[in-house]
Amino acid sequence: MFHSVAELLQLTEQSQIKISRLMIEREMALRQKTEDEIMQLMDANLTVMEQAIEKGLKGVVSHSGLTGGDAVLLQQYIAAGNSLAGPLILDAVSKAIATNEVNAAMGIICANPTAGSAGVVPGALFAVKEKLKPTRQQMVEFLFTAGAFGYVIANNAFISGAAGGCQAEVGSATGMAAAAIVEMAGGTPQQSAEAMSIALKNMLGLVCDPVAGLVEVPCVKRNGIGTSTAVVAADMALAGIKSRIPSDEVIKAMYEVGLSMPSSLRETAEGGLAATPTGRKLEATVLGGEK
């Protein structure tokens, strides 16, 4: 139905429908299911996301001991009322971190687009929910909008850290979340595309360097930062700010940057933060070497 953001926008313009509506119709045609069935399937994903956040905000610790409890610390900090960034952004960060802490603790999450970047979309969604007061259907539509941009990215670049660095994981998720926030806030499909571009182009070059080869350090906190970027990018687009580089060209640039990355910076734990002295010490501890 569409293979680029340009085609996606053209179809929404021709039919005068939202991006989420177009994606729902695509899924109905692809899966040969009714709209109710498609909505129920996505609603099930939404439930998993909600439960992961709830679990993470109660406090979890990974089996390695590298991550855990940071989502709780942020919520306590927000409650104290002295935050600099503001409660909405920090709530989004906390909920993104909560999701990835659950993932690191071998809990159930919904990969979107990957497990390593699973916190960004739900973190953004459940934070803006407090301000925008969406219906359950609108929350499900949020996921379809995010999915539409994830679909384009996956088919024109990559969404795995091993293939293109963390820009392909957290970067893609950040762009997806930014676009979906815009639609939920009443923005146009074009503004969703602008938000995606602004978000993704500011994640270009982000390497994948997991300490001890685990999707914990620095991955969990990167989800939090990516979520904050998504919220700000959405605000910029809603304010009328445009990306000078079109969405499809940003995606292509991300692809080319990923291809140019050495393997040491693509999920091999051979470079970046994983190769620092502290990173190596943590690796030895986790893998049963030096204590």
pLDDT digits (tens, 9 = 90+) for 14-64: 999 999 999 999 999 999 999 999 999 999 999 999 999 999 999 999 999
110-133, pLDDT tens digit by residue? 999 999 999 999 999 999 999 999
Mean pLDDT for the chain? 97
Cβ neighbours, 10 Å, residue 32:
8
Distance CA 145, CA 268 (A): 32
pLDDT of residue 289: 52
Distance CA 31, CA 2 (A): 16
Q: Is the pLDDT of residue 69 over 80?
A: yes
Distance CA 217, CA 200 (A): 21
Distance CA 20, CA 17 (A): 8
Q: What is the mean pLDDT of residues 69-87?
A: 97
8 A C-beta contact, residue 97 and residue 127: no
Tracing tokens 């899966």 back to the chain, one arrives at: 31
167-197, pLDDT tens digit by residue? 999 999 999 999 999 999 999 999 999 999 9
Distance CA 237, CA 214 (A): 35
Q: Is the pLDDT of residue 95 over 60?
A: yes
Distance CA 214, CA 67 (A): 10
Q: Please state, for a pLDDT cut of 90, what percent of the chain lies above it.
A: 98
Classify burial at 108, counting beta carbons within 10 Å of its beta carbon; exposed 0-12, middle 13-18, buried 19 or more. Answer: exposed
Q: What is the mean pLDDT of residues 215-236?
A: 98
Q: What is the mean pLDDT of residues 237-257?
A: 98
Q: What is the mean pLDDT of residues 253-274?
A: 98
- Phi and psi at residue 280, to the nearest 5°: -70, -35
pLDDT band with cut points at 50, 70 and 90 for residue 290: very low
pLDDT of residue 291: 40
pLDDT band with cut points at 50, 70 and 90 for residue 254: very high
Classify burial at 91, counting beta carbons within 10 Å of its beta carbon; exposed 0-12, middle 13-18, buried 19 or more. Answer: buried
pTM of the shown model: 0.97
pLDDT band with cut points at 50, 70 and 90 for residue 1: confident
Q: Please state, for a pLDDT cut of 70, what percent of the chain lies above it.
A: 99
pLDDT of residue 16: 97
Question: What type of residue is 160?
Answer: S
If we measure between CA atoms, which residue out of 157, 146, 160 comes closest to residue 248?
Answer: 157
DSSP state string for 75-114: HHHHHHT--SS-HHHHHHHHHHHHHHHHHHTT-----SS-
8 A C-beta contact, residue 88 and residue 130: yes
pLDDT of residue 288: 82
Q: What is the mean pLDDT of residues 203-217?
A: 98
Q: Is the pLDDT of residue 199 over 80?
A: yes
Distance CA 146, CA 199 (A): 13
Q: Is the pLDDT of residue 78 over 50?
A: yes
pLDDT of residue 193: 98
Question: What type of residue is 167?
Answer: Q
